[in-house]
Chains A and B, each alone.
Chain A
Amino acid sequence: DVKVTQSSRYLVKRTGEKVFLECVQDMDHENMFWYRQDPGLGLRLIYFSYDVKMKEKGDIPEGYSVSREKKERFSLILESASTNQTSMYLCASSLGGFAYNEQFFGPGTRLTVL
């Protein structure tokens, strides 16, 4: 079974803190994604990566950065957390080579910024 794990299920941080959200997949997938999910807005893509050290902006990259130093790990970084970044963050991965390959999601991290 494909497994995508995220470092925390729940996280509480203060405004201005630097926040790291970690995602690890164990299926040797080339593509990895970070989404945020908010009520009434659905899931929105923040960043994705199609290879180690490669990244592409999604629909809402402002206030976020990412890092992919190893194939299995994709980190989302909030340089200076703000209250409007309180959200559910979901990581996903998929095989490369065919853009229609299905995405496998992790359980999510619910981040609260106070």
Chain B
Amino acid sequence: DAKTTQPTSMDCAEGRAANLPCNHSTISGNEYVYWYRQIHSQGPQYIIHGLKNNETNEMASLIITEDRKSSTLILPHATLRDTAVYYCIPTSGTYKYIFGTGTRLKVLA
């Protein structure tokens, strides 16, 4: 499984876009990139995933570089409720998620 590097913490102003980067330079061809977030005192929540194309859903957009060595999760209009720890998880689908320490995003009023 690929190793990931994410910033320890980030701040974002409410209403602005939050861009959360993830480096996964050792990702292999069959590994998808999943993003989850964990709001304080709750279990992780799925956000989005992708293989090589950019993806968008009602929660976020995922931009994956052409070489697949990094990705960026974009929350287009961050709200206070988006304050959470965000995990970037490459997975080969072997039922094993490697949760690192993630990025602690704080959305500021």
Contact = CB atoms under 8 A, between A and B. Distances in A.
Contacts of B43: 4, 90-92, 105-108
Which of under 10, 10 to 19, 20 to 34, or 35 or more describes the interface residues of B?
20 to 34
A58 interface: yes
Interface string B43-54: 111100100000
Interface in B81-104: 87, 91, 93-102
Identify whether the interface residues of B are mostly helix, strand, loop, or mixed.
Answer: loop
A42 B99 contact: yes
Contact of A33 (B49, B91, B95): B95
B97 A43 contact: yes
Interface string B8-31: 000000000000000000000000
A90 B45 CA distance: 12
A90 B94 CA distance: 19
Interface in B30-67: 32, 34, 41-46, 49
A42 B93 contact: no
A100 B49 contact: yes
Given A43-B44, A90-B43, A103 B32 contact: no
Interface string A73-114: 000000000000000001110000011101111111000000
B26 to A, nearest CB: 18
Contacts of A59: 96
B49 A105 contact: no
Given A42-B102, A90-B44, A108-B42, A102 B95 contact: no
Interface of B: 32, 34, 41-46, 49, 87, 91, 93-102
Interface of A: 4, 31, 33, 35, 37, 40, 42-45, 48, 50, 56, 58-59, 90-92, 98-100, 102-108
